[in-house]
Amino acid sequence: MIRCIAVDDETPALDILEDNISRVPFLQLVRKCKNAYQAMEALQQEHIDLLFLDIEMPGVSGLRLLKELAEKPMVIFITAYRKYAADGYDLDVLDYLVKPVSFERFQRAANKALEYHELRQKEKASPFPGYIFVQSEYKLTKVFVHEILYIEGLGNYIKLYLTGTSRPILSKLSMKAIGEKLPAGKYSRVHKSFIVMMDKISSVHNDSIMIGETEIPLSRFYRDEFFKLIHNA
């Protein structure tokens, strides 16, 4: 079962979403939200696999909400505007639906979510091989996880800093995408732009982390999850 929330500031649109979700046997609607603040609260309180998200809403837009999320669930945009399609691509959303949405089109998007969800479950169940492949300089580069010190996000790109070399690997991946490649519990997102490998941390200060001689900022947004990992280590 895929646990989802629906976010739209218009009640009729929320009702249509609820009806469509109820007709898909593998979807479970956990909560309906009329703005980004309610959605953020739901994401903090519940385990959510999939977010059906409107874009243009009063206050905080769907785009801004998605950019601010530390750990993103699967996302399907449902909007009246086609102009945000490129933003959806940049944010790694699963699908982009333009209102009015037929049930057949909605079901295709839901099936895509199911395929992705099942693939992620299989990956979690498989033993981690100890390395990942990333696209860099027009080729796939093999990176051993034990050599990663930390990762820096630069918009649509990341830099992987490794032991034994001063030259990072540049790859066109989002922070979310690289996080999904790494073994759970071995790394922590500590800032919008930084992931650190837990076994490479030298010391932790109030608002920063030292990896060797390099100081990495620790933001308040990620602090609690980071210290949970520290205490469970």
Secondary structure (DSSP) of the chain: -EEEEEE-S-HHHHHHHHHHHHTSTTEEEEEEESSHHHHHHHHHHS--SEEEE-S--SSS-HHHHHHH-SS--EEEEEES-STTHHHHHHTT-SEEEESS--HHHHHHHHHHHHHHHHHHHHHHHSPP-SEEEEEETTEEEEEEGGGEEEEEEETTEEEEEETT-SSPEEE---HHHHHHHSPTTSEEEEETTEEEEGGG--EE-SSEEEETTEEEE--HHHHHHHHHHHHH-
The whole-angstrom separation of Cα 50 and Cα 113 is 8
Mean pLDDT in order along the chain per 10 residues (233 residues): 95 96 97 94 91 90 82 87 68 85 96 89 73 84 95 92 94 88 90 95 94 95 87 72
Beta carbons of 51 and 39 less than 8 angstroms apart: yes
Strand bridging mode 2-7 / 203-204: unpaired
Q: Are 74 and 113 in contact (CB under 8 A)?
A: yes
d(CA 165, CA 193): 21
List the structure tokens of 88. Answer: 């959806």
| CATH 3.40.50.2300 intervals, the chain | 2-125
CA–CA separation, 124 and 12 (whole Å): 38
> Residue 123: its pLDDT value, please?
66
Euclidean distance between CA atoms 144 and 208, whole angstroms: 25
List, by residue range, all CATH 2.40.50.1020 domains of the chain. Answer: 131-232
Residues 144, 102: contact at Cβ < 8 Å?
Answer: no
Decide the pairing of beta strands 139-144 and 148-154: unpaired
CATH class of 131-232: mainly beta
CATH tag, 2-125: 3.40.50.2300
Question: How far, in Å, are 10, 64, 159, 166, 202 from residue 87 at the CA level?
Answer: 22, 11, 22, 33, 37
Question: What count of other Cβ atoms lies within 10 Å of the Cβ of residue 2?
Answer: 19
- pLDDT number for residue 12: 95
